[in-house]
Copies of this chain bind each other. A is one copy, B any other.
Amino acid sequence: MKWRVSLKESDAAAVSALVEKTGFFSAQELRVAAELVEETLLHGNASGYEFVLADDPDRPGELLGYTCFGPIPATKSSFDLYWIAVSPSEQGKGIGTKLIQKTERMAKEMKATFMFVDTSGREQYTPTRAFYERMGYHVEARISDFYAPGDDKVVYGKRL
């Protein structure tokens, strides 16, 4: 596994392809994921987004997983894990755990004291929520019908 924290031009397409492969995100969300990469390629750290990326050693230009995170504007030292995705073929091999650990370490170096991550309360996200709980995250809030009727937002948080 090759890990990187700086972006290269091909990452907008690679992130979009990875996020699509997971089957968890809409077309609109794929665009957002790619836009955050493009914005950071353009504006660097000033964009407010940081990345941890796992390159696919067998397929140059493809990613096995990534996170996108950064300081939450108007907070003192709270960070948000905006995106985490692991290629379906690689799930269950510990890549998600390593991504979270590297992400939290980088955030702590940036003086983060709290990491938040939003997810859905839907059945489909039970493994996602179980993953965050294994990583030491706790439910900080639950907002009924936030994403859509019957689709709650669950906010997880972890003190770093």
Contacts and interface: CB of A to CB of B under 8 A. Distances in A.
Interface residues of A, number: 26
Interface stretch (A1-9, A15-23, A85-93, A137-145): A137-145
Contact of A76 (B32, B113, B148, B155): B148
Interface in A35-93: 73-78
B26 A147 contact: no
B146 A75 contact: yes
Task: State how many copies of this chain the complex holds.
Answer: 2
Interface in A83-126: 113-114, 116
Nearest to A76: B148
Contacts of A157: 143
22 contacts: A26-B74, A29-B74, A32-B73, A32-B74, A74-B147, A75-B146, A75-B147, A76-B147, A76-B148, A76-B149, A78-B146, A78-B147, A114-B145, A114-B146, A116-B143, A140-B141, A140-B143, A140-B144, A141-B141, A141-B142, A141-B143, A141-B155
Contacts of A155: 141, 143
Contacts of A140: 141, 143-144
Contacts of A116: 143, 146
A73 to B, nearest CB: 6
A10 to B, nearest CB: 25
Interface string A145-160: 1111101000101000
